[in-house]
Chain A
Amino acid sequence: SQQGEEDPQALSIQEGENATMNCSYKTSINNLQWYRQNSGRGLVHLILIRSNEREKHSGRLRVTLDTSKKSSSLLITASRAADTASYFCATDSGGYQKVTFGTGTKLQVIP
């Protein structure tokens, strides 16, 4: 079963624009991560945000976390065609609990 639901399911933007995708989850978490997957390949870890953090940056990525709303957002600024991929959020409850992935957002950046 999926812990996280991403929204939107698909997003198409022009190169240079910003892309925002959201993740909502159901139960309390310890960490939330974002991963990228290029078509039919393995996932690449992008960023991890802990439950006691509200915002984190990494290059052109900005992640926010609102534990009261059980939601997170990933912002990609100044998008590039190479950002075209599926993006997944993943959550864990801490300790030795498994990591559970969301349903993913498919992002297309048009050159």
Chain B
Amino acid sequence: KAGVTQTPRYLIKTRGQQVTLSCSPISGHRSVSWYQQTPGQGLQFLFEYFSETQRNKGNFPGRFSGRQFSNSRSEMNVSTLELGDSALYLCASSTFDPDAHEQYFGPGTRLTVT
């Protein structure tokens, strides 16, 4: 099975711009979660989608949004970028068995905001 893929792998944006990141989960996985990883804050949960519905949400401002399509692919969008949004954005997919939350991560998108 192909693993989780994320595009693009690297991105440089300017403050005030917006960005869209994409994630394709493992075939058959219906749950997709997004995380932001920075040296200062560690791994922070952004949101989780299951069957096109946002099931959980972390403590991030409304500038961060996401969606999931019927084929389980997911996108996240960050509007009005700030310098502090520079981070590694990780996507993870799972079958979302409520009894076992094993997640499979993609390689991440490295976003740099200048």
User: Which of A92, A94, A95, A98 has the most chain B CB within a 10 Å cutoff?
Assistant: A98
Q: Which residue of A lies closest to B108 (CB)?
A: A42
Q: Is the CB of A103 within 8 A of B42?
A: yes
Cα–Cα, bound, A94→B56 (Å): 13
Q: Is the interface of B mostly helix, strand, loop or mixed?
A: strand
CB distance from A36 to the nearest CB of B (A): 10
Q: Which residues of chain B have C-beta atoms less than 8 A from A41's C-beta?
A: 107-108
Q: Is the CB of A96 within 8 A of B102?
A: no
Binds B, one of A43-51, A64-72, A76-84: A43-51
Q: Is the CB of B45 within 8 A of A98?
A: yes
CB distance from A107 to the nearest CB of B (A): 16
Q: Is the interface of A mostly helix, strand, loop or mixed?
A: loop
A33 touching B106 in the complex, CB below 8 Å, given contacts A96-B96, A98-B45, A101-B42: no
Q: Which residues of chain A have C-beta atoms less than 8 A from B101's C-beta?
A: 31, 33, 48, 90, 92, 99
- A2 at interface by CB-CB < 8 Å: yes
Cα–Cα, bound, A41→B108 (Å): 6
Q: Which residues of chain B have C-beta atoms less than 8 A from A102's C-beta?
A: 42
Interface bits A29-59 vs B (CB < 8 Å: 1, else 0): 0110101000011111100100000000000
Q: Which residue of A lies closest to B31 (CB)?
A: A96
Q: Which residue of B lies closest to A41 (CB)?
A: B107
- A20 at interface by CB-CB < 8 Å: no
Residues of A within 8 A of B (CB): 1-2, 30-31, 33, 35, 40-45, 48, 88, 90, 92, 94-104
Q: List 13 A-B contacts (CB under 8 A).
A: A2-B42, A30-B99, A33-B101, A40-B88, A42-B108, A43-B105, A48-B101, A94-B98, A96-B50, A96-B55, A99-B101, A100-B45, A101-B42
